[in-house]
């Protein structure tokens, strides 16, 4: 029998970060940078107007005070690259984002003028640098802008596009094939014959894959039959970086996972010291594709995914942090825990870092897991959890 730590080590051992890939920006969303991004130029490359108004010399205006009228000598629009030099005692009409004329060091906003076109009355005097975006305000040439290991969201993609980058080097998100196994499984939304059950695991695990940053490919439920299961797994290996199965692990008649996987690769099945769930499989199939075999009971399958598969997917995707955040929380009621097994209990955690956290058990099974926002972890040596004791809780929404 394996401990939880030993099984996690075995899972992580077969998972390495995916080879870096140069991809277009739209395909990089959600991926992790494989290398630092360094600024190629200053940004902005020249001083720019920060508002619509009039570019002026603050020092020259200060000699005559507010209320003075000055001639408007030119107009500069955004994107205008003409060399414009401010003449003493004048102003230049300017758009926000347009290059500042030489000799100008401030912009008077529209609201502080009479909006004249040939001449303008300045009602309030600006300070030097006011309403100006100076050169290299955002970044300097050669400066590291984004670190390797950063996850790319819309904000980072916008920055990269603004730097003129059309492609970026990332660890691609792992392609994960999810297969539910069982003769009794039917698709949600269809008629369910008596004795059959809806395939909850396929949908839940595919969603969990996407939440972990992977690309999920869900396969319709496969019968617990050697030929069907063998064909399903072999067909999916062409697009899979990882395969996750659920069900078919009991020793009862008709459970074929072990016999199917034996000729396809090297997969080890162990009793793992955890609750819920117990027997799990890990190994490789085909050309070294990692495969993780999870229980058929929905809550046990999702908890096993959280404990073992999610860290693997994050490692493949290049994440530095593999595990959920955790907090110590005081439990509001006690329970008995199975001896020699690490128990994962669905709880609702509330509180703050200053006041501390409280954990309220919400029951067992899929409904309880849907209500929970954390998993309280009971160590293997504890058989009784008492009210008021403190447990480490994995935050499911972090």
Q: What is the pLDDT of residue 251?
A: 61
Task: Read off φ and ψ for residue 179, nearest 5 degrees.
Answer: -125, 120
Q: What is the pLDDT of residue 108?
A: 97
Q: What is the pLDDT of residue 252?
A: 59
Question: Which two tokens mark 149?
Answer: 């290991």
CB 63 within 8 A of CB 204: no
The Cβ of residue 375 has, within 10 Å, a number of other Cβ atoms equal to 26
Domains along the chain with CATH numbers: 4-18+173-317 (3.40.980.10), 23-43+149-171 (no CATH), 48-133 (2.170.190.11), 326-395 (2.40.340.10)
Q: What is the pLDDT of residue 141?
A: 96
Question: Which two tokens mark 369?
Answer: 């897991």
Peptide bond into 377 cis (omega under 30): no
Residue ranges of the chain with per-residue pLDDT less than 70: 251-255
Q: What is the pLDDT of residue 282?
A: 96
Q: Tell me how far apart the alpha carbons of residues 378 and 97 are, in angstroms, rounded to a whole number.
A: 58
Q: What is the pLDDT of residue 386?
A: 96
- Provide the strand spans (E) within 144-296: 144-146, 167-171, 175-181, 185-186, 197-198, 215-222, 242-246, 265-271, 274-275, 279-285, 289-294
Q: What is the pLDDT of residue 204?
A: 97
Q: What is the DSSP letter of 205?
A: H
* H or E element that contains 25: helix 25-28
Question: Which two tokens mark 348?
Answer: 């609702």
Q: What is the CA radius of gyration of the chain?
A: 31
Q: Considering the entire predicted model, what is its pTM? A: 0.83
Q: What is the pLDDT of residue 188?
A: 92
Q: What is the pLDDT of residue 16?
A: 84
Place of tokens 């395909």: 27
Question: How does DSSP assign 324-339, residue by residue?
Answer: --EEEEEESS-EE--T
Residue in 204, 364, 380 with CA at minimum distance from that of residue 294: 204
Contacts of 96 (CB under 8 A, 6+ apart): 49, 50, 51, 52, 78
Residue in 321, 320, 323, 377 with CA at minimum distance from that of residue 347: 377
Q: Tell me how far apart the alpha carbons of residues 266 and 309 are, in angstroms, rounded to a whole number.
A: 18
Q: List, for residues 201-248, the tens digit of each pLDDT value.
A: 999 999 999 999 999 999 999 998 889 999 999 999 999 999 999 998
């Amino acid at each position: 029998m394996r401990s939880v730590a030993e099984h996690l080590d075995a899972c992580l051992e077969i998972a390495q970060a995916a080879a870096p890939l140069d991809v277009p920006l739209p395909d990089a969303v959600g991926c992790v940078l494989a290398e630092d991004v360094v600024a190629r130029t200053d940004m902005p490359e020249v001083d720019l107007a920060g508002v619509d108004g009039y570019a002026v010399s603050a020092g020259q205006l200060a000699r005559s005070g507010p209320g003075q009228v000055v001639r408007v000598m030119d107009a500069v629009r955004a994107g205008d690259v003409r060399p414009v030099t401010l003449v003493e005692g004048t102003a230049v009409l300017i758009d926000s984002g347009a290059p500042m004329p030489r000799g100008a060091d401030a912009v008077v906003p529209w609201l502080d003028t009479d909006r004249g076109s040939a001449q303008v009355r300045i009602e309030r005097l600006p300070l030097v640098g006011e309403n100006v975006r100076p050169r290299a305000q955002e970044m300097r040439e050669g400066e590291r802008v984004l670190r390797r290991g950063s996850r790319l969201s819309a904000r980072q993609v916008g920055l990269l596009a603004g730097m003129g980058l059309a492609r970026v080097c990332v660890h691609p998100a792992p392609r994960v094939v999810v297969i539910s196994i069982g003769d009794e499984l039917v698709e949600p939304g269809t008629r369910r014959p008596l004795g059959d059950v809806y395939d909850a695991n396929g949908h839940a695990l595919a969603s969990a894959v996407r939440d972990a940053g992977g690309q999920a490919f869900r396969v319709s439920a496969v019968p617990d039959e050697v030929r069907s299961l063998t064909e399903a797994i072999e067909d999916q290996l062409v697009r899979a970086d990882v395969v996750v199965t659920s069900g078919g692990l009991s020793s009862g008649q008709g459970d074929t996972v072990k016999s199917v996987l034996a000729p396809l690769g090297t997969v080890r099945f162990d009793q793992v010291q955890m609750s819920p769930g117990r027997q799990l499989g890990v190994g490789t199939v085909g050309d070294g594709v990692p495969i993780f075999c999870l229980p058929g009971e929905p809550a046990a399958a999702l908890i096993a995914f959280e404990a073992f598969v999610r860290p693997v997917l994050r490692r493949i995707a290049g994440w530095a942090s593999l595990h959920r955040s955790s907090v110590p929380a005081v439990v509001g009621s006690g329970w008995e825990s199975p001896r020699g097994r690490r128990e994962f209990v669905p709880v609702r955690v509330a509180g703050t870092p200053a006041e501390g956290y409280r954990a309220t058990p919400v029951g067992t099974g899929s409904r309880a897991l849907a209500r929970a926002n954390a998993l309280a972890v009971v160590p293997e040596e504890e058989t009784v959890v008492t009210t008021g004791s403190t447990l480490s809780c994995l935050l499911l929404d972090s």
